[in-house]
Structure 1
Amino acid sequence: MEELLEREIILELKSKFFDLISTGRFSFSSSEVLSQMMAILKELLKAHEVDFYSCQEWNQEMYLETTTRLSSDDRVLETFPHCLVNELAAKPYAFIKYPESMPEHELLLVLKANEKPMGLFGFQMNSDTLNSLSDRFLDKLSSECNVFIEKVRSQAETLEEEKRYKQLFRVTKKFHSTMDMDAVLGEIISTLREVYPSFTYYLLLSHDHKGYGGLPVRDLEYDSDNLTAMQSYVSGQIQFEDSVIDKNSIMYAPLKGKQGVYGVLQVIAPNSLVFPQNEVEFIKLLANTAGSALENAKLYEQSRKLIADLQLINETSHQLNTSLRLTDTMKFICGQIIKSFNAQEVGFIMLDEEHDDYSVLKGSTSFFFSKDASNYILRVANQIRQGMEPLFLGDISDDREDSPLHFHSIMGVPMIQSGELKGFALVMHEDPYHFAFDTFKLLQSLIHHSTLAFTNSMLREELEKMVVTDHLTKLYSRGYLDEKMNLSMLEDQQGTFILIDIDNFKSVNDQYGHQIGDEVLIQLARQIANNIRGTDIGARWGGEELAIYLPGAPLETGVMIANRLVDKVEKNTNPNVTVSCGVSTWIRGQEDTTKTVFKRADQALYVAKGSGKNKVVVQNENNFDFSGTQE
C-alpha cells in the first residue's frame, strides 16, 4: 500500500513538473523555476518549509538562494562539509535524513552535475511524515528532481544561447552600420551588460583614447603589471586568470582584426574558480566581431584623417603659391596650424648662422615677440642646429627655477632649403602630451611643402628692397622717393622735404680716400635712419646728397629733425664732417608739384652752403629763413 502511494506521489510530481515546463509561463530563470518547484515539493511531501542552497564552487560554501518562508531575514551562510561531499559523491543521487551539519532541516535532497554537488533542497517537516517515506522513494525523488533541474537547465541554456546569438547578430549588424569608434566600444559594453549583468568588464585599448564618454576604457600599457592581458594582446589568443584571493575568474579576449590586435576585452566572473566554459565561445565571438568592427572604424577614421591632411596640404600649397607677400604667408600658415592642430602658439624663426642670432617672422603669434619666448626659441634652436632633425617633446623638462616654462607640448620642424638650415617652425601648447604623433608627422609634411614658398617670398621681398634701395647707404633710391612723394601729394594734407649735403666732401675724399668717403656716407645714412619715423622716407638723392621726406608732417617738424641731424652728424662722425640742410614744404590747396618742392629745398641748400655751411635753411616762396640754424 505504501509503495503504491509513493509511486503515485512520484507520478504526480512528474506530472506537475511537466505542466511547469509545458505551460511556457516561465523564462526558465533560476529563481522562477526553483520557486515553483519548491512549492510543488512542499505540497507533495507535506513539508513546513523548503529552502534551496546553491553551492559556491570557489569555496564550497552554501548560500540560501530561494525559500518558501515568508521572511528570509534569517538566511544563514552554511558550510558544505567535506565529509558530506564525500558521502554524496558515493551515490548517483543523494538524500540525507536528519543531517548533523544542517540540523535545522530534517531532510536534504542533493542536486549534482558531473558528480559534483551543485546545490540542495532542505526540508523542514514532521518526523513522522519523513519516517513514513522509504529510502527508495527518497532516492527516486532526488533522481526526479535532478532530472527535472537538468532538463530545465538544458532548455534554459538553449534559450539563453539563442538569445545571446540573436544579440550577437544584432550587434554585428550595428557594428557594420557604423564607423564610429565610440559607438562600437559602447555597443560591446552594452551587449555584455545585457547578457551577463553580474560580470564586470573593461576595454584595455592599445591606442590613444579620451575616455569614450564614461565607458570602462583603460590604457593597455606595455610596462603594465597585468602580464596576462599583455600576453593576450601580444599572442592574439584568449587567456584566463583565476584568483582564489579575489574570488573570481578573469577572461582576456583579444580585440583583433585582419591587420592587428587593437586591445583586449577583460571579463571578470565573480565567485568562480574557473571561468564558465559555456560563456567562453560567445565572448570570443563577440570580441572577434568587435575587433573587426574596431579595425574598420579605425581604418575609416584614418582614411578620413588622411583625406583631411591632404586637403590641408593642398589648400595650404595653393594659397602659398598665390600669396607671395611674406607677412600674408605667415599669417595664413599660422592660422592653418592653430585650426588643424589645436595649437596655442605658432612661430616661424629664421636663423642667422653667421651671427648666431635669430629673428621672428611677422605673422607668428604675439607670444614669440615677447621676452619669455626666448627660453623656448633658444632651447629648440640649439637642438635643431645639432641634429638638423624635427623635435617632438610631449612634456618639455624644466631645469630653470627662475623662469618656469608655461608650455609643455612642443613640436619643432626645421625649414631646410637646398641642404641649408633657414630656420624652424615652433608649435606649442601648455598641456603635456597635447599633440599626437600623427599631428607631428603632418606638421613635418606641411613645413616641407611650405619652406620653398617661404624662401621665395623672402627672396622676392629682398629683391624688391634691392630695387628701391641704394646699395651703399641702404636708404631708399631717388626713384622710390619720387614715387612715394607723388602719392603723398595726392593723399595727404601736407608734407615736408629735407635735402642734405655733406660739407667739403671732396676734401674728405682727397684726404682719406674714396673708401673713407663711402664710410662717411654710411654714417650719415645711419643717423638719418635713427632720427626719422618708420613712415618717413630716407633716400640717397645723388652723390654726397641725401634726402628725407616726411609725409603729413608740418614745416616745424621738418626743421626740428633737420637741426637735430646737423647736430648729431657734427658730434658722431669719424672723420668728423658737417652737413647743410635745405627744407621746403607743401600744403594742399597750393599749386605745388614735387619738382617745385625739390627746387625750393635745393635753393635753400644752396643758400646754406654759401652762408657758412653746417646749418639749416628754409625756403618759403622767394624768402629764406635762417631761424632754423639752431635747434
Structure 2
Amino acid sequence: MPNRTNPIEENQTLEEIRYRELFRVTEKFHSSMDINIVLAEIIQTLKRVFPTYDYFLLLSNDHDASEDLPIKNLEYNSENVSAIASYVNAAVELEESEYPVMYAPLKGKQGVYGVLQVKSHLTFPLENSQIDFIRLLANTAGNALENAKLYQQSQKLVEDLRLIDEVSQKLNSTSSLSKTMNYLHNQIKKSFHASAIGFIILGGEEPRVLEGSSNYFEGEDGKKLIQAVLERIENNNDSLFMGEIKQMPVCVQSKYGSLMAVPMIHSNAVNGIAIVLGDKPYSFSFEKFKLLQSLIQRSSLAVANLMLREKLEKMVITDQLTQLYARNYLNDMIEKSMQTDRGGTFILIDLDDFKEINDTYGHQTGDLVLIQVANLIKGCLRPTDIGARWGGEELAVYLPGVPIDKGASIAERLLNHVSQQTRPAVTMSCGVSNWDSRQPDEVTQLFSRADAALYEAKNAGKNQVAVKEI
C-alpha cells in the first residue's frame, strides 16, 4: 500500500513552508529600501504560498509604485467598506461572501500605508493559520514600507536642501537679473517638471513679467491668469496650491491642469509672485509645493537686490527726462558695435526752433514736447537699436547693422511722425551718416559727418533729412 501522509504532518509541513517564506521575505525586506521591491515581494510570497488566490495592494494616491504590480487606489469614498475599515482601524477585516476575502492593513509604527486584499477561490472560510500568516506578512511589509518611505523622504529632503543651497549660492554670486531668472526657471523646470513658469513683479502700473518666464505669461491668457492669481492672494499674501485649476479662467483650464503660486516677499511686502503650472491635474505633490515655497523665499532677497541694482544701473545710463539712453552709453555702444558688426547708421536729430516752444509755452511744455518726441523715437526702434539724448533739444539714434539708405528711410519716417503727432506741433531736422567695416573709421568721425549733414538740413530749410555717406 502506498504511504499516506499524516494530516497533522501535512499541516506541519504547510506551517513550516509559510514561516520559512515569512523569514525569507523578512530578510529581503530588511536588505532593501526600495518601495517597489517591498511591494513585489508581498505579491510573490503570496503566490508561492497561496498560488490559487487573487491579491491586490490597495494604496493611497501618494504612492509611486510600478504599474506592473496589482495595485488599486484606496479611495475614501469607495464602496469597499471592509477595505476602508481595515485601513482606518488598522485591523484585519474578513468579508464573508461566496468566496471569502481578507483585508490586512500594511501597518508600520507611524501609520498605515495601505491594505492587502486576499481573495480565496474556495467557498469555505479561510483557516486561522492562513489568516495569521497573511496578517504577519502584512505587518512585516508595513514596517518595511515605512522604513523605505522614511529613507526616501530623508534622501529627498537632502536633495531639496542641496537644491535650495545651490540655488541660493548661485543667485548671490551673479550680478545679472536676466541670467538669474533664466537659471531659476531652468532649476524649477528640472526639479518640478513644470509646463510653464512665470516670475511677475508688482509695483508699477501693471504687473511686469520678468525675463526667464515662459512665453505663455506674455499673452492674453497668461495675463488673465496673473490677474486671477493676484486677486486670490492680495488679501492674505498666502501661497496657492491647486491640484485642479477649476476655479481659474476657462482659458487656463483648457491648457493646464494644476497650479502653484508663491508670493515673493521682501521687507514684509509682496514685491512679486512666482507661478508654476503643470499640464495635468495633480502634477505636483504637497511636498513639491513646500519646496517651491522655500525656494522662492530664499530667492526673493536676491531678486530684489538684483532689481535694485538693475534700476540703479539704468539710472546711470538713462536720461531722466526722456528715458532715452544717455550720450555716454550711446558712445560706448557704438564703439562696441564697430568692433563686432559690419556697419551701422547714425542719425543726429535737432528739434527745429525749439527755443520758440519754450518762449511761447514755457519750459514745462518744452519738456513735454521732448518726452513726446522721445516716445515716438522709441516706438520706431528695434530692441537692438539705441535712442539717446544728445544734449538739450538734440537727440540721436544708432542703428547697428543697418545700411545708410534704410537708415535714411527710418529718419524720414521719424520726421513725419514728429511733425504729425506732437502737441504743440514741432518739426525736426536729421543728419544721417554711416560706417562700414571695410573702411577705417572712428566714432568721432561718424559723429562729425552726421553733424555736418544736420547742418545742411538746417540750412536747406529745416524739417528734412540730409545724408553724408562715408
Say yes or no: TM over 0.5: yes
Residue 592, structure 1, aligned to residue 446, structure 2:
no
Cross-structure match for 1:518: 367
Cross-structure match for 1:168: 22
State the SS of the aligned residue for 1:248.
coil
Residue 198, structure 1, aligned to residue 49, structure 2:
no
Shift in Å, 1:526: 1.3
Shift in Å, 1:403: 8.4
> 1:596-615 deviations in whole A, cap 9, x for unaligned?
22233333333433443323
TM-score by length of 2: 0.92
Cross-structure match for 1:284: 135
Cross-structure match for 1:323: 174
* Residue of structure 2 aligned with 1:184, choices 33, 38, 44: 38
Letter of the 1:240 counterpart? L
Residues 559, 304 of structure 1: CA spacing in aligned structure 2 closer, same or farther, 3 A cutoff?
same
Residue 614, structure 1, aligned to residue 463, structure 2:
yes
Shift in Å, 1:306: 1.2
* Residue of structure 2 aligned with 1:256, choices 98, 107, 128: 107
Letter of the 2:269 counterpart? E
Q: Distance in 1 between matches of 2:449 and 2:193?
A: 59
Cross-structure match for 1:436: 285
TM-score by length of 1: 0.69
State the SS of the aligned residue for 1:20.
coil
Which protein has greater RCO, CA pairs closer than 8 Å, 6+ apart? 2
Residues 215, 565 of structure 1: CA spacing in aligned structure 2 closer, same or farther, 3 A cutoff?
closer
The gaps in structure 2 that reach 5 residues or longer are: none
Report matched runs for 1:318-357 at 5 Å. 318-352=169-203, 355=205, 357=206
Shift in Å, 1:375: 4.5
Shift in Å, 1:386: 4.2
Cross-structure match for 1:242: 96
1:249·1:269 contact (CA, 8 Å) conserved in 2?
Answer: yes
State the SS of the aligned residue for 1:203.
strand
Cross-structure match for 2:299: 450
Letter of the 2:303 counterpart? F
Letter of the 1:540 counterpart? R
Q: Distance in 2 between matches of 1:383 and 1:165?
A: 58
State the SS of the aligned residue for 1:221.
coil
Cross-structure match for 1:84: none
Cross-structure match for 1:115: none
Structure with the greater alpha carbon radius of gyration:
1
The gaps in structure 1 that reach 5 residues or longer are: 1-15, 22-27, 29-151, 622-631
Q: Distance in 1 between matches of 2:87 and 2:323?
A: 68
Q: Distance in 1 between matches of 2:248 and 2:328?
A: 55
Shift in Å, 1:308: 1.6
Cross-structure match for 1:460: 309
Identity, % of aligned positions: 51
Residue 233, structure 1, aligned to residue 216, structure 2:
no
Residues 448, 403 of structure 1: CA spacing in aligned structure 2 closer, same or farther, 3 A cutoff?
closer
* Residue of structure 2 aligned with 1:573, choices 422, 434, 440: 422
Letter of the 1:384 counterpart? I
Root-mean-square deviation (Å): 2.5
* Residue of structure 2 aligned with 1:479, choices 304, 328, 335: 328
Residue 20, structure 1, aligned to residue 3, structure 2:
yes
Shift in Å, 1:475: 0.6
1:469·1:477 contact (CA, 8 Å) conserved in 2?
Answer: yes
Residue 294, structure 1, aligned to residue 145, structure 2:
yes
Q: Distance in 2 between matches of 1:591 and 1:331?
A: 39
Residues 222, 593 of structure 1: CA spacing in aligned structure 2 closer, same or farther, 3 A cutoff?
same
Letter of the 1:294 counterpart? L
Cross-structure match for 1:306: 157
- Between 1:168-177 and 1:357-366, the stretch displaced more is 357-366
Q: Distance in 1 between matches of 2:71 and 2:319?
A: 68
Shift in Å, 1:189: 1.3
Q: Distance in 2 between matches of 1:492 and 1:215?
A: 62
* Residue of structure 1 aligned with 2:388, choices 529, 539, 542: 539
> 1:309-354 deviations in whole A, cap 9, x for unaligned?
12222222222223332222222222222222222222223345x5
Q: Distance in 2 between matches of 1:283 and 1:587?
A: 86
Residues 510, 331 of structure 1: CA spacing in aligned structure 2 closer, same or farther, 3 A cutoff?
same
Q: Distance in 1 between matches of 2:66 and 2:415?
A: 73
> 1:33-89 deviations in whole A, cap 9, x for unaligned?
xxxxxxxxxxxxxxxxxxxxxxxxxxxxxxxxxxxxxxxxxxxxxxxxxxxxxxxxx
Aligned residue pairs, count: 470
Cross-structure match for 2:234: 385
1:326·1:457 contact (CA, 8 Å) conserved in 2?
Answer: yes
